[in-house]
Chains A and B, each alone.
Chain A
Amino acid sequence: MSDAVPASIRPRRTVIPIAAEEGAGLYAAHRKVYTRTVQGVFARWRWAMVFLTQIVFYGLPWIEWGQRQAVLFDLGARRFYILGLVLYPQDLIYLTGLLVVSALLLFLFTAVAGRLWCGYACPQTVYTEIFMWVEHKIEGSRTARMRLDGGAFSLEKLVKKWFKHIVWLGIALWTGFTFVGYFAPIRELGLAFLQTRMGSWEVFWVFFYGFATYGNAGFMREQVCKYMCPYARFQSAMFDRDTLVVSYDTERGEPRGVHAKGSDARAQGLGDCIDCTLCVQVCPTGIDIREGLQYECIGCGLCVDACNTVMDKMATPRGLIRYATQNGMDGHWTPKQVLRRVLRPRVLIYTGVLAALCIGLLASLVMRTPLKVDVVRDRGSLARIAEGGQLENVYRLQIMNATERPQRYRIEASGLEGLRVSPAEPVEVGSAQSRWIAVRLQLPYGGAAAGSHTVYFDVRAADGGAQVSEKATFMVPR
């Protein structure tokens, strides 16, 4: 691609001004970032992550599992299906666990190699990349886009802009539709859309999420990372001097200046940087990496790719801009020495906690009982005397069937001698349904001392698949 290779390398001192102009006030005017496309290892990684994340995101709702969608979060019925699992709102702890694992993963990645998440996997990055690709295909290269935006109104401009926005909107709406497809069966949703009888809330969320995608990936782009994203800010707290970050080798590069290919830069009093500004032109946040680590840097490594291309052309070694640690840069360490410091206590602790959490979470999911029982004691009366001299307490049991078959559950009680459950017949609960049952616990009069006693409801699936024991209180009046 012609973009990646500079046609002519002219001396150009001033690039894109980074610092605000004198007296700009508290609010700066927005400067649009025109990124140049670049090829290289990290660009390929970025695209690999685009495909990986988006195939999962767009594809997952279409996968079927038995009679239903494999991943479906049915908010209306409050059932959450993930492959073979049926989760209830009471299983929120798994979501908590997932979030904790995600946070720790972020800590770990950030401690090792800085803002990897930001540079490669964050939806903001991924969608921006997709939208930029569309922009590039329709409006042309960086210079062509700048010329188009700077130029007067023309038919070409109108057509290109319209075409771009239509494609963007198409992608955005499809993204919104897919998003809603996680919460409403996507096939039915598609049919409803074709017959224009989608529910008003579904329409709202398709457009809302679609609009957010369009706005964030089309217009906001790096500003989301710079001004809005909280993770971007607190990730810098996880950096240390052994964190791999995209770095410009100042010692090797400076003083920057143009010199001919093959000529000895040192002899001319220059560093290896030829000041081609390609690293700035490819930067999705529009910064100059040569000024050192900046809060805007999302660590995507595109400037590394750009610089390596140029270094190859200049027949100088690669790595003028590279992933390096501060210690490694200062101490002129070899890559091996740098990598050895990756396994430092901070990283090992993150890894250990993460591994323990993942194992715990998985084990708890595997050993999960597909049955839940809630016991609510009747508040109206403490106890009553029923026929035959039986002391009765009344309870409501909510029995939640977390399997996708109708189940029969047998309810028994333990904790006091002679305790009986009435009615004694097994209870039917439909597939993935929950049901309230009123049950009585009976104890022969005088069977226990006055006061409150701890008893247990033992609920068993008739097929022996699940058993839950739930604590309750049995009151004996004075």
Chain B
Amino acid sequence: MSDFFSDFWSNYVGIVSLGSILFCALLLWLTARAPTPSGTDNTTGHVWDEDLRESNNPMPRWWMGLFVLTILFGLGYLVAYPGLGSYKGELGWSTGSEYAEEVAKAKRELEPVYAAYTAMPVERVAAEPGAIAIGERLFLNNCAQCHGSDARGGKGFPNLTDGDWLHGGAPEKIKETIVLGRIGVMPPMAEAVGTPEEVKNLANYVLSLSGSPHDSVRAGLGKSKFNACVACHGIGGVGNPAMGAPNLADRTWLHGYGQEAIISIINTGKTNQMPAQQGRLTEAQIHVLASYVWGLSNKPAVAP
């Protein structure tokens, strides 16, 4: 019991538990022996409020047997299961082990369901209504918290239905993203760019890449500053899926649209993380989930 510095509480719990049981047994023994005063009229002889009398209606003896059984059960339970302080019980049972067993059992039972799908490529699985139903549930339980129930994401969380991929949308890339997670880092670039005015100019240039409304004079001035960005975002800002650098020339604005949002990102940078699902989900689950996600923006292959 690492929760405490000493064994005091463990002993306390154990002693109180056993003491209570022994006290019950003692009480049972004493009361079963003590004769109750019983007059000829089957009352204890006490009278309250003029006519209220206490009848002597004894419990049946088998009822006492039940008490004894309860005590025996309680003692047996305390031997077999954890109950006496830090004593683990003879059976070695714990909630953790039971949970692990149930998960293992569920996995065993589901194996045949998944087996049919794991043998197929993602493009085929995406055409299976059964797999899509499973994938949808997996998505709702594991992904929807960030990406939204409809997988369309939100600010900071990529939309998975638009065919626009930060890290590539090939089935194996999607799987890689799910298994290992992703960390997208945009370092703060204000220093490399220069003065706040120059940052503003750069932001307008970035807006111009996608043909979004911008100040063309500032965009012209900011063009040269984009050299600081090319290493990741590429010439013309088309992005680089190999390192997860977003395409700045399209209409997708993951972290906000407009001059202010872009200036903020240039100044402070951004670290965005997709947590790894490895270990949380089985390989088969990830296969089906990847098929579902792939199917959100692709037409599944029809079975040959």
**Which A residues are in CB contact (< 8 Å) with B59?**
26-28, 227
- Size class of the contact patch on chain B: 35 or more
B61 close to chain A: CB less than 8 A:
yes
- Quick one: closest A residue to B42, CB to CB? A19
Cβ-neighbour of A380 out of B38, B62, B64, B144 (below 8 A): B144
Distance (Å) between the CB of A473 and the closest chain B CB? 15
Least CB distance from B254 to A in Å reads 11
- Is there a chain A Cβ closer than 8 Å to B56's Cβ? yes
B154 — nearest CB in chain A belongs to which residue?
A381
Complexed CA–CA distance, A385 and B251 (Å): 12
Is the Cβ of A378 less than 8 Å from the Cβ of B144? yes
Interface of B is mostly: loop
Question: Which residue of B33, B57, B152, B155 contacts A440 across the interface (Cβ within 8 Å)?
Answer: B152
Instruction: Report the stretch among A198-206, A267-275, A364-372, A390-398 that lies at the interface.
Output: A390-398
How far, in whole Å, are A381 and B151 apart by their CA atoms in the complex? 12
Binary interface profile of A, 1-45, with partner B (CB < 8 Å = 1, else 0)? 000000000000000001110111111111000000000000000
Bound CA span A381–B158, Å:
12
B63 lies within 8 A of A19 (CB) = no
Q: Does A438 contact B (CB under 8 A)?
A: yes
Say which residue of A23, A223, A227, A295 sits within 8 Å of B36 (CB atoms): A23
Q: List CB contacts (< 8 Å) of B35-63 with chain A.
A: 35-36, 38, 40-42, 56-63
Chain A proximity of B53: nearest CB distance (Å):
13
Given A23-B35, A384-B153, A396-B140, A28 and B60 touching (CB < 8 A)? yes
Whether the Cβ atoms of B64 and A23 lie closer than 8 Å is: no
The answer on a CB contact under 8 Å between A22 and B154 is: no
Interface centre among A20, A25, A440 (most CB of B within 10 A): A25
Question: Cα distance A27–B29 when bound, in Å?
Answer: 11
Chain A residue nearest to B60 in the complex (CB): A30
Report the separation of the CA atoms of residues A18 and B147 in the bound assembly, to the nearest whole angstrom: 75
Known: A380-B157, A381-B155. A440 touches B150 (CB 8 A): yes
Report Cα–Cα, A394/B60, bound state, in Å. Answer: 63
Q: Inside 8 A of B31's CB, which chain A residues have their CB?
A: 25-26
Render A448-473 as a binary contact track against B, CB cut-off 8 A, 1 for contact.
00000000000000000000000000
Given A27-B61, A30-B60, A223-B60, A386:B152 Cβ within 8 A: yes
Closest 9 CB pairs of A and B: A23-B35, A381-B154, A438-B149, A19-B42, A28-B58, A438-B150, A384-B154, A27-B61, A27-B64
18 A-B interface contacts by CB (under 8 A): A19-B40, A19-B41, A20-B38, A20-B58, A22-B38, A23-B36, A24-B38, A25-B32, A26-B34, A26-B58, A223-B60, A295-B57, A380-B145, A380-B147, A380-B154, A384-B153, A439-B150, A440-B150
Beyond the given pairs A22-B38, A384-B155, 19 more chain A to chain B contacts, judged by CB atoms under 8 angstroms and listed by A's residue number, are A20-B42, A20-B57, A20-B58, A22-B35, A24-B36, A25-B33, A25-B34, A25-B58, A27-B60, A27-B64, A227-B60, A379-B145, A380-B146, A380-B148, A381-B155, A384-B153, A386-B152, A395-B149, A438-B150
- Chain A residues with a Cβ under 8 A of chain B: 18-20, 22-30, 223, 227, 295, 378-381, 384-387, 392, 394-396, 436, 438-440
